[in-house]
Amino acid sequence: TNDDLLTGVAHLLDDAFCADEELLKLLSGPRFMQAICEAFGQVRLSHHSKCDVFVWLMQAMSSVEEGVESLVECWVRVWSLICGYICTSVDSDIHAATDDRAMSTTASCSIVGILIDNNLPQASEKLRVGERAAQ
């Protein structure tokens, strides 16, 4: 299926990024971040459990300056995906803690931290809107 293809390529890229920081720097531009967001969004709709790898890719990209810049440039889409991922993870996996889920939650929090640090006015407004909606 398309989801299997997208997650398979994402796993391959994750492994490649771990092995080659130059490749990571080369691919950490905004167009690649947009492609990750698109794939993440498509897979999330049908297979939330397969989304960990997209979080790991974003977190790997956040380890280089080019990736941080891409996260910041695409922050609205990234914010939406990561916050949705965290909420769905908490709702669906509260009793199914795994090492992968713990790593993904840690990576998600790291990405949220980068977004907040680099978009403080917009991010804090989003948090306030979210708080009001939750009440």
Q: Which amino acid is at 93?
A: D
97 has pLDDT over 70:
no
Q: Which residues contact 92 (CB under 8 A, 6 or more apart)?
A: 48
Q: Please name the residues in contact with 47: beta carbons below 8 A apart, sequence gap of 6 or more.
A: 3, 7
**C-alpha distance from residue 106 to each of 2, 40, 51, 56 (Å):** 27, 18, 14, 10
State pLDDT tens for residues 27-84.
999 999 999 999 999 998 677 778 889 999 999 999 999 999 999 999 889 988 998 8
Question: Can you give the pLDDT at residue 91?
Answer: 61
Please name the residue that has the structure tokens 């949220």. 112
Spatial contact of 71 and 28, defined as CB atoms under 8 Å apart: no
Q: Where are the alpha helices (DSSP H) in 20-74?
A: 21-27, 30-46, 52-61, 65-73
pLDDT in tens, 109-135: 888 888 888 875 665 565 555 555 544
pLDDT of 134 reads 46
What is the SS3 assignment for 110? helix
Check residue 68 and give its pLDDT.
92
Which one has a higher pLDDT value, 107 or 67? 67
Predicted confidence at residue 96, as pLDDT, reads: 55
